[in-house]
Every structure is written in structure tokens, then in C-alpha cells.
Structure 1
Amino acid sequence: MSPPFAPARRWLALLLLACVGLSCQGLPRPRPVGDPAALRYNITYVREPEHALDVEVVLARGTPRDFMFSGPGGVDTVHAWREDGQVRALPVREGAVSVPGGTRFLRYRYALDARIRQEGPDFFSGMGEGDARHVAGREYLIRPRVVTPELRVELYVEGADALLPWLPEDSGLYRLRGEDLVDSGFHGFGGRRCQARLPDAVLDVAILGTFTHLRDADVCAWLKQAAEEVRTVRSAFPHPRITVRVVPVPGRDGSSLFGMVRWSSPPSISILVGKDTEAAAFERDWVAVHELLHLAHPVLVPRVPWLSEGLATYYTEVARARSGRQSAQRAWEELLDGFARGRQWSGARTMQEAVSGSPYSLGVYWTGALFALHLDVELRRVTGNKRRLDDVLDALATRGSTSTFGAFGEVVDSVAGQPLFDALLARHLERPAFAEMDALLEALGVRADTAGVKLVPARDSLLREAVDGRRTRGATD
């Protein structure tokens, strides 16, 4: 087998051969020298005649021969090249490709614009305007079916300023672990850049399109405010650096419309924002802080949507009150409105039944938020208001970026100083959804009538005030 990197003249000849039938835009600029034992991805962002991603995968010695797309459907043929110039077209079947022996590298095209026409604008398959595009890495990056712990990966992008989840070297080369290919997050190409800086973190932001009223500085100020609100929940921002892609949506006004987190390492976030949004609309926005609050807890494996969404939904209102962006009364109005909608959706179902269907139902979000509130209050009650749900999230962070549902409960009991989690969970799961709500709100002094929500003295009103009171990072109740 030839050495991992062929001599320069042979490599140039291979590049010329690889351009046959793939509408290359001339030879790429010299690429940084990498690790010859790493699986190498050379990605070229193509603008003409349509936006596309040309991907070349240089195989290293010992690279597995079974490959797959985690998000199949965007590529139907991969070309396998031998060093002698022989090429073979490999069909992609159900996202899988078997690479023949002697293959030196793979080439294929992910036709971004054609995919957008086929599927419609989508966070995963592609969206964007002008020269800017958004796509999920899982859609266009082929990867080994089995990723071993020792697999090293290099990724190099040319043709556009890219914002990927990882921090590149000065040469534009990304050095990754093999597992980074399993969930490769959201990727942005082109557009404009700004940064939101915190004392302990930075948010690198790509704006993938144009707004009619917003400046780039307005976008980063909005994201910085949301990130600061996360710091009212955690003792430090959960990651030293994350990336956020903001995609303007034509023909829509208001503020942000939808967001999503991908659990790449570090996590990557993307948010849709109405093209005609004005900066003042961000004062009422909740989407950015909700998505950022997902970073406040580790990834639960396997997933428990009602807990992860419930935590983020509960803290979305609490954090905005703690920062002063909304009043305590407004926070409770929002929570009660959500509880009412969740209760109406759940009907006579138990919480267990309400959360067993779609992970995006009102039952998942709002029964989860009610449980998070109840858990926070009980932790404060049994510890004399000295410990809280925030402490659970901080303690979990010391254990790593992933956790389990069982470990979550163990940390709750440790913070409480006594068994708490399982008994409280049983009270919720086994009874009709929201059965615990009325007594809990009454004890907190949160009352609703035709005139609206009132906050009144009650048995646990001091706990309520500790939950929603103004604070800055590091402040105690």
C-alpha cells in the first residue's frame, strides 16, 4: 500500500482526475499538511452554477471500509478512486456505502440548492439565502459505520467562511475525534460574523442572510443577554465557546420563531428569526434563552425529553425574571398559561401517558416544567432554602457532558441530603397530569382569577421569592 500522502506530482494528477465530471472550480489552494494517520475531509463550498458541497475523503491506513450518512437522502452516489486513477461509482443504499479495497479517496457532491428545492428549507437538509447556507453536518458528511475511540479526523473547508461547532486552527484545519462525526452539529457557510462575549465564554455567531431592520450588533446583543440569563441558573456558562447560526426567515416579522440544539461537542445552536424583526422585539423573546438553557444540563442518555424540555421551559421564565427582563408576576403568568395549555392537552391522562408520545407535545414541555418547579421548591423546602435545583445542575456538570436519568436522581438526593427524587417523581408520573399543580401553587402564593395572576403571602411564598428574585452570577438566595 502506498504511503498515506503521495508525492506532489502524483497528488496533483489525482486532483485533476478527481475533477472529471464534478464541475470543479479550478484547483483548490494549497491545503495545510495534516496527520497522515487521520481520516481527512476536504470540503469545498461551491457557488456556481448552484450552491453545493464537494466532499473529498482521503482514507488513511486502517480506515474502516463500511461508511454511512447519519442523515441519508442527500447523496445517492459516491465515487471511489484508486491511486492508479481507476474510479468506481458506488450507489448509496439506505445511507450506506461499502468501499472496495485499494480505494485511496472518496468524492461526492451534496447539492445544497437542489436539496432545498426537494425538501423545502430545513434546519437539517439545508436553508439560507444569497451566498449563505445552513445545513446539518450529518446530512452531507459520510462517516465510518463504526467509529472507534482511536480514530482521528481532520476536516478542511475552502470556498467560504465556515462556522462549524469546533474551533479551527489558524490554517483553517479542524482536528476532531472520530466521535465528532456521529453528531457533527449544525454548519454555516458564508454570511457574516459577530461575537457575544461573556466573562467566562464566547458565542461565535453566523448571520446567514439579511434583515431589514436589525444590525449584526443587535443580533449579538440579544444572544449575549440570553447567555447572561443562563448564568443566573448556573454558576458559570456551561461551555467556554459555542457557535450559533441565526437564519433570517423571509416574509415573517416578530422576533425569533424557532430554535434547536444539536449535541455536537461542543453543542451547536441554530435559530430562525423573522426577517423584518426590530431590535425592540427581542425584549419579549424566549427562544434564544430556552435553547441556551438546554446547555445548563448534561445530555441525558438515553434521552428523557420531558425532563430536558421541562428544565429548559421552567428556567426560561425563571431566568428572565432573575435578570430583570420580565417581572416576577409576568414569569408566573407565563408559567400558569403554559400549565393550563398542558393540562388541557393532557386531559385525563397520567403524566406517564402524557409524555409517552411525541417528544414535542405540550404534555412533554409543561408536565416537565411543573415537575422541575416542584423539584426546585422541594429542594429548597427540605434544606431550609439553602439548596436548589441550580445546585443539581452545577453538580451534574462536574461529572461530564453526558449523564443518565438515574444519575440525575442520585444528584438530587445528594443535594437534598435525603431521598427525594423517586418519591416526588412517583407522585407525578402515576397520577393525572398536573394533579400536583393546584396545591403547589397555593402553597407558593400564586393565585389566578379573572383579574389575572396575583402573588400573595403564603406558606412557601419566601421560597417563591427565592426562585424568581433578581440575581447575578454567584449570588445566593
Structure 2
Amino acid sequence: MRRRMRGLGVAMAAITALAGTAPLSGQRGPGSAGPVAETHRLELGERSLQVDFAAGDLDLGTGSVLAHVQKAAQAVVAYYGKFPVEARVLIVPVAGQDGVLQGTTWGGVRGWQGFTRMRIGQHTTQQELDEDWMMTHELVHMAFPTMPDDQHWIEEGLSTYVEPVARVQTGELKAEAIWRDMARDMPKGEPREGDQGIDHTHTWGRTYWGGALFCLVADVAIRRETHNQKGLQDALRAIVERGGTINHDWDLPRALEVGDEATGTQVLMQQYAAWKDKAVTVDLEKLWAELGVKWGKGGSVELVEGAREAGIRRGITEKR
């Protein structure tokens, strides 16, 4: 989940003005969770990631959680070619709970270009960490500029789409698993009766899975036009190289134009023009057949290597 500092700043200023005082020292906000019990630093090429643990108990100990953060960060590096910003992750243990409970990411917080706060239950098991997707999802947010509210769908859609692909590229997930999940979940992003374009219908399904569906369709279209030589990954890497990261506010056309320039196509701008104001339904059955994603027995998915565009499917998850 991604939050905007500008909205928070306006709200805090209004509260302060009404009260006629400076903000209270105990006031909570991004980056605050009481005293920090441990601090670690992960070196990620030219960038670094500070990982802080707020006071509280974790049955696994901090080492396992730190390794989980590092694995998520390496997935981001694998997809984007580098970690996008200097960043901090704050781990907040939650007493009596288990599992990775919530993640939120901001840009430009207390001197950090990117800041993620993760709430993790005290009784979280190693299996729950191994099955967690939220850590990678949140760190992916750092690799795209902050958008106006009507384009929040691209922020969440990108993280929803890139997270599993990046984890296949590092060997953490199997390709069959993520194509099964996409075949199951992408229909949640299709417009429902009464929905408008993706800039105008801000339901959960259209924001997360509608945004992810936009990314999938664009990735396939770029690969079709470039004979599988370029993909969405190239577009997103170029956006980061131009400074399009979470600590900067851009409008969406600016980002998409950079992406199109990198791929030598007009796919992103043309698709956005078609989707932004009008509800567009994707023929997913046809798309899966072309990519060679076929439902098997017991909810499994078979990847059909003889499918017409199996090479595009492989190209999406291929390690760079």
C-alpha cells in the first residue's frame, strides 16, 4: 500500500493551525513507532537499505526477518537492475499476532527517499515469511514516481504485477505458480457493469488488479511489437534511470512517454489513451491461450510450450 506525503502534510498543517501550536513531540506519523531496538544496513550495489526494528518481540528473532527483507530487496534489484533509492524499512512487531500483517510505503520521509513500514506478528513462522508477498510489493513501490490520486491504480497495479515476476527472476518462485495466480486473479481487474475508465473507477479490484491487467497487456503488446526484444521491464528501468522514483511527483503521461522511448514503441501512451476514460474488457481466455497458460487438474496450470506466444510468456519472467 502506498501513501502520499503531500496529503499528510496538508492535514498536519491544518491540525497545527487550528490548535495554534507546533506539532506535539509524541505525534505519530510515517517513521514513528516508538524507540528503535536494532538497526541494520543492507548494501545493494550503489544503494543501501537501512532496516530498523521497533521495540517488541519476534519469536523467529530479527535475523530471519532481516533475511526476508534482503530477499525482497534483491528481487527489486533483479527486476530494475539496481535498487531505486536510498531507503529505510521499519519493522514493527505486533504482540500476540502472526503473519506479515500490513505494509505501507512513502516517498521523502525524514530524509529518506523511500520509507516502508511493515507490521509483523510476534508469532510469525518461517513458512509465513516464505509465503509473504507484501515485503517485495512494498519495495517495488519505490521504483515509480508518485502519481496524482486518479492514477493511483498504476502505482498499485505495477507492484501487483512486478512483485511475482521479480521473484521468479531470482528463483524464489516458479513460473507455473505465478501464471496460475495471474489466471486466477486477473479477472478481478476487469470492469464491472457501470464502471468507467481506469482513471475514474477506484474500486479495490480496478485499482490493484485493473492496474496489474494494464501492465500485463502492455508487456505482451511491447513484446509483440519488438519481436520479444523489449518488454515492460525495459520501460520501467528507463523510468527509474530518469529519476522516476517514489520521492518525485510526476504525471502519468510523463512516465509513460519515457517508457515508450525506451522500448521504441507507443504502446504505453496508446493503451493509456484507450483505457483512461472508457471501460476496456480484455479477452483473457484468448490471451492465456496465446501465451500457453492452460488450466490443468486440481487447479494447477500447465505451461504449453507449443503455444503461439509461449516465447513472450517466457520472456516476461526470464532473468536479465
Q: Could you say which TM-score interval applies, normalised by the shorter chain?
A: 0.7 to 0.9
Provide TM-score, normalisation by structure 1: 0.58
Name the structure with the higher helix share. 2
Q: Secondary structure at the match of 1:298?
A: coil
Q: Secondary structure at the match of 1:326?
A: coil
Q: CA deviation at 1:246?
A: 0.8
Aligned equivalent of 1:203: 49
| C-alpha distance after superposition, 1:415-449 (max 9, x if no partner) | 33233223323454566454343322221111235
Q: CA deviation at 1:336?
A: 2.2
- 1:245 aligned onto 2:90: yes
Which of the numbers 166, 178, 181 marks the counterpart of 1:331?
A: 178
Aligned equivalent of 2:140: 293
Contact 1:351 1:367 in 2 (8 A): no
CA distance in 1, matches of 2:298, 2:279: 28
CA distance in 2, matches of 1:422, 1:368: 15
Higher gyration radius (CA): 1
Which amino acid letter does the alignment assign opposite residue 94 of structure 2? Answer: V
Q: Secondary structure at the match of 2:105?
A: strand
| C-alpha distance after superposition, 1:24-82 (max 9, x if no partner) | xxxxxxxxxxxxxxxxxxxxxxxxxxxxxxxxxxxxxxxxxxxx964349977xxxxxx
CA distance in 1, matches of 2:240, 2:76: 14
Matches within 5 A, 1:6-85: 70-72=10-12
- 1:362 aligned onto 2:205: yes
Aligned equivalent of 2:309: 460
CA distance in 1, matches of 2:61, 2:41: 13
Relative to structure 2, which stretch is displaced further, 228-237 or 441-450?
Answer: 441-450
- 1:307 aligned onto 2:154: yes
Which amino acid letter does the alignment assign opposite residue 271 of structure 2? Answer: L
Contact 1:355 1:363 in 2 (8 A): no
Aligned equivalent of 1:27: none
Matches within 5 A, 1:142-153: none
CA distance in 1, matches of 2:23, 2:193: 52
Moved over 6 A (4+): 73-76
**Structure 1 gap ranges (5+):** 1-67, 77-91, 98-105, 113-134, 137-184
Contact 1:195 1:202 in 2 (8 A): yes
CA distance in 1, matches of 2:237, 2:107: 19
Name the structure with the higher strand share. 1
**Structure 2 gap ranges (5+):** 1-7
Q: In 2 relative to 1, CA 73–238 (structure 1 residues): closer, same or farther, beyond 3 Å?
A: closer
CA distance in 1, matches of 2:184, 2:55: 34
Which of the numbers 120, 124, 136 marks the counterpart of 1:273?
A: 120
The alignment covers a number of residue pairs equal to 303
Aligned equivalent of 1:261: 105
Contact 1:443 1:461 in 2 (8 A): yes
Q: In 2 relative to 1, CA 461–427 (structure 1 residues): closer, same or farther, beyond 3 Å?
A: farther
Identity within the alignment, %: 26
RMSD value, Cα: 2.7
Contact 2:259 2:268 in 1 (8 A): yes
| C-alpha distance after superposition, 1:321-375 (max 9, x if no partner) | 11111110111122222213344xx4224461x65344x6122100110110111
Aligned equivalent of 1:448: 295
CA distance in 1, matches of 2:206, 2:273: 17
CA distance in 2, matches of 1:364, 1:351: 12
Which amino acid letter does the alignment assign opposite residue 465 of structure 1? Answer: R
| C-alpha distance after superposition, 1:199-223 (max 9, x if no partner) | 3322111211323422111111110
- 1:384 aligned onto 2:221: no
